Structure 1
Amino acid sequence: MAIVKPFKAIRPAKDKVPFVASRSYQEYSKKELEAVLSFNPFSFLHIINPGYKFDKRVSGPKRFKLVYNRYLEFLEDNIFLKDAQDSFYLYEVKKDNFQCCGLFCATSVEDYQNNIIKKHEDTIRPREELFAHYLETVKFNAEPVLMTYKDDKTISGIIESERQTDPEYHFTTTDKVTHKLWIMSEKEIVNQLETAFTKLKALYIADGHHRSASSNLLAEICKKNNPDHTGREPYNRFMSYLIPESEIKIYEFNRMVKDLNGLTKKEFLIRLDGSFRIENKGNTLYKPTKKHHFSMYLDGEFYSLYLRKKVYRFTDALSKLDTQILFKTVLGPILNIQDLRNDKRIQYGYGKHNIIHMKDEVDQGNFAVGFSLVPITMDQIKAIANAGLTMPPKSTYIEPKLRSGLTIYEL
């Protein structure tokens, strides 16, 4: 059973919320970041880029302390306000042909430890430790872990009923994304939601594996240092955003490789022929349409690669993933890329226009070959997580990508 709790959020004053909420700072170009910091004093980016106030770049523990200072200033200036009641926060995102509606809530470290909150990616211990130290210093979660759950009629009924009321926030950002947020604090509704989630067997992390792992590590540190630990302290939970499986959007990551590992084009195609039935599609833009089917762009031409299933052996859920198949049949044995995370010879791209970008990069000589895959499904993610396995890096690009600073969970 999943433990999902309401909390007293720190959130922007109503008249300032469109200016406060920001995308992840990694999504901004250097010029964009400079423009926001220069002309928007309310942006959450001022908190996570605290050195801007002093025209100085800071990092490590010094930055962590300054982040906390900027956060305090936002509270002191009433840019951020604290809710008086424990609440769930219903949040809707809508753009183009994508829409989702889910809950900001506090999820349990104990559930993470007991594998009720399930994972499908590896985490890197030094990153866990660094972010745990960051959380220990700044004392808040501002970026939720994105999780998904099996569609549930009771939960969806409560959500749909709330969506018929006027939201607390309703605004559109400059990237043409519409945002709505409702505060759900009535005791009866809160209890109904908590009870409904206890009937779910699992929650699945979609995005935020390092954030959840770091929150777990922080809880272990705080428990060890607190002789009066009860299990009810705020550090025993972390902020998450939960949406039903049907509302998550998963995109593929394409792969581009800088060289053919010393092989000629003909030698490379002959090596591929051992695992795939190859068809030359010429210069027509070509994308795969089903699992175990790949598109390749090489030397000005597209190829379809159909996996020879009598040659490749399926042994578990991981072996059935197209990203794993490509690694086991091509990237590793033929192109000698063993470290998918750190090898400089491989790069990744996502998005509906990425196959065009991939073609351009190969045509310009920046890469020798590109591979396009179909998106991994939620069922495949669940199968990997349920089996305790992990996917290759850059297997999924998942939406929604959430704003920072809309709700904050104090630790």
Structure 2
Amino acid sequence: MPKIIPFRAVRPTRDKVSLIASRSYDTYTKAERKARLDNNPYSFLHIVNPGYKYHKELSGQERFQLVRNRYLEFKEEGVFIEEALPAFYVYKIVNRDNETFTGIIGAASVADYKNNYIKRHENTIQAREEVFKDYLKTTGFNAEAVLLTHPDFVPLNAIFEEVMRARAEYEFTTTYRDTHYLWPVTEERLVEKIKAIYADMPELYIADGHHRSSSSALLSDDLDAAETPGEAHKYFMTYIIPESHLRIHSFSRMITDLCGMDKDRFLIKLDSIFKIENRGEEYIQPSKVHHFSMYLEGDFYTLELRKQYRNFKNALEGLDAQILYDLVLKPLLKIQNPRQDARLAYGKGKNDMLGAKEKVDRGTYAVAFGLFPATVQQIKDISDEGLTMPPKSTFIQPKLRSGVTIYEFM
């Protein structure tokens, strides 16, 4: 039932794509951003940080307008080109661990998002939605696709194989040692097949990009109310991949203090909820659901949820991030709002407890918890029940680079 359509992407010329492609702005350290901006005149960071050329920090509408100005300059200078025909884009990433992610970039319907054919599992923050909506409205383009997923489907794999027999339009490797490939698909026979495959699916699920999709829906409402001509604003750019290609990692939780308790008192409180084992200096990352790791005052611990706490009434209650919040963060450590409490911070990645350990050892935080990653089925079940996860419940790969395909709607 979801309507996914091809679009005429604005994208870099083949010779410059590796120079333009960048990670999301906030994933760089200040030093990394400066190095790229100083040494690479083609980096997409020059577009999203337009004040750099004036040695000035910009914000709000002033920044948004200059983002548009820089973008138009890149187009005028021939750094970007526009696809001659509407296209889907087969996009493949092979990462440093030799994991492969393959999917299709296309445009998804805002109406399908509103009607829950594109299902969400995270709450969004209204202020962030409004800011990004204003950004989109001023700049007129989006360079970061929403990541959608669906069950594996053999006919789609056949299309991937057929398209990828040809030479890729793009093939470039990043400093993260991920290799990216892109094939535009404009042949009418294949375009219609792809549209039909998605139309036959009952729904798609948002894996990553809840704020982007929500902001696109707000923008569509604004432009509809203003009787804006055209259809482009009724869609948003997506990267759609089969479930088996998703990689889900967890975010650790780090808390600044034990809410007035000493170590022994805190462990006694936890003992009524978990079976606890002190593992000393042995690095522990949870190996299965409902098992947690904890680092406290120089020691790692394993925490296994006791059976009396496993009578879950819905899919959300069985999510480890929710369990930790309901049984530890809120009642014991008095974290009332995990989105805003300054005492709570998050790490991410496969071995994020190593970073958390260092921060606890430095005294920045008092305790850290590691979680087993959520599964695709958990995400789907929570979405299907109309529930939403706590913040930072999932860190999902793959991550596309900004500036490789750009969706214009104004």
TM bin (shorter chain): over 0.9
Provide closer, same or farther for how the CA distance between residues 162 and 309 of structure 1 changes in structure 2, counting only shifts above 3 A. Answer: same
- State the percentage of identical aligned residues: 50
- Residues 82-121 of structure 1 correspond to what in structure 2 (within 5 A)? 82-97=82-97, 98-121=99-122
Task: State the Cα distance separating 1:359 from its structure 2 match.
Answer: 2.0
**Separation of aligned partners in 2, 1:233 and 1:352:** 41
User: Counterpart amino acid of 2:5?
Assistant: K
- Residues 57-136 of structure 1 correspond to what in structure 2 (within 5 A)? 57-97=57-97, 98-136=99-137
**Separation of aligned partners in 1, 2:63 and 2:16:** 25
Task: State the Cα distance separating 1:313 from its structure 2 match.
Answer: 3.4
Q: Which residue of 2 aligns with 1:384?
A: 382
2:340 corresponds to which of 342, 348, 363: 342
**Separation of aligned partners in 2, 1:345 and 1:304:** 23
Counting matched residue pairs gives 408
Task: State the Cα distance separating 1:366 from its structure 2 match.
Answer: 2.0
Contact 1:275 1:312 survives alignment (8 Å)? no
Q: Which residue of 1 aligns with 2:395?
A: 397
**Separation of aligned partners in 2, 1:58 and 1:285:** 43
**Separation of aligned partners in 2, 1:7 and 1:187:** 13
**Separation of aligned partners in 1, 2:296 and 2:181:** 45
Q: Which residue of 1 aligns with 2:304?
A: 306
Q: Which residue of 2 aligns with 1:359?
A: 357
**Separation of aligned partners in 2, 1:316 and 1:156:** 34
Contact 1:22 1:43 survives alignment (8 Å)? yes
Q: Which residue of 2 aligns with 1:156?
A: 157
**Separation of aligned partners in 1, 2:158 and 2:68:** 39
**Separation of aligned partners in 1, 2:372 and 2:231:** 43
- The Cα offsets for residues 340-373 of structure 1, whole Å up to 9 and x where unpaired, read as 1111111111123322222222222222111111
User: Counterpart amino acid of 2:325?
Assistant: F
**Separation of aligned partners in 1, 2:251 and 2:16:** 36
Query: Greater CA deviation, 276-285 or 250-259?
Result: 276-285
Q: Which residue of 2 aligns with 1:284?
A: 282
SS in 2 for 1:407: coil
Contact 1:276 1:305 survives alignment (8 Å)? yes
CA-atom RMSD in angstroms: 1.2
SS in 1 for 2:287: coil
SS in 2 for 1:253: coil
Q: Which residue of 2 aligns with 1:138?
A: 139
User: Counterpart amino acid of 2:349?
Assistant: G
**Separation of aligned partners in 1, 2:95 and 2:309:** 43
Contact 1:4 1:105 survives alignment (8 Å)? yes
User: Counterpart amino acid of 1:325?
Assistant: I
Matched, 1:295 2:283: no
SS in 2 for 1:56: coil
Provide closer, same or farther for how the CA distance between residues 277 and 405 of structure 1 changes in structure 2, counting only shifts above 3 A. Answer: same
Query: Greater CA deviation, 359-368 or 144-153?
Result: 359-368
**Separation of aligned partners in 1, 2:49 and 2:359:** 33
- Residues 224-239 of structure 1 correspond to what in structure 2 (within 5 A)? 224-226=225-227, 233-239=231-237
Q: Which residue of 2 aligns with 1:49?
A: 49
SS in 2 for 1:147: strand
**Separation of aligned partners in 1, 2:123 and 2:74:** 35
SS in 1 for 2:103: strand
Query: Greater CA deviation, 126-135 or 111-120?
Result: 126-135
SS in 2 for 1:350: coil
- Residues 188-199 of structure 1 correspond to what in structure 2 (within 5 A)? 188-199=189-200
Q: Which residue of 1 aligns with 2:313?
A: 315
Task: State the Cα distance separating 1:292 from its structure 2 match.
Answer: 0.7
**Separation of aligned partners in 2, 1:70 and 1:248:** 34
Task: State the Cα distance separating 1:163 from its structure 2 match.
Answer: 1.2
Q: Which residue of 1 aligns with 2:39?
A: 39
- Residues 217-256 of structure 1 correspond to what in structure 2 (within 5 A)? 217-226=218-227, 233-256=231-254
Contact 2:280 2:300 survives alignment (8 Å)? yes
Q: Which residue of 2 aligns with 1:259?
A: 257
- The Cα offsets for residues 228-282 of structure 1, whole Å up to 9 and x where unpaired, read as 76xx610000101111100011101111111111112121111112211212222
Provide closer, same or farther for how the CA distance between residues 270 and 109 of structure 1 changes in structure 2, counting only shifts above 3 A. Answer: same
TM-score, normalization by structure 2: 0.97
TM-score, normalization by structure 1: 0.97
Task: State the Cα distance separating 1:175 from its structure 2 match.
Answer: 2.1
5+ residue gaps in structure 2? Answer: none
**Separation of aligned partners in 1, 2:41 and 2:26:** 19
**Separation of aligned partners in 2, 1:130 and 1:308:** 43
Task: State the Cα distance separating 1:312 from its structure 2 match.
Answer: 4.8
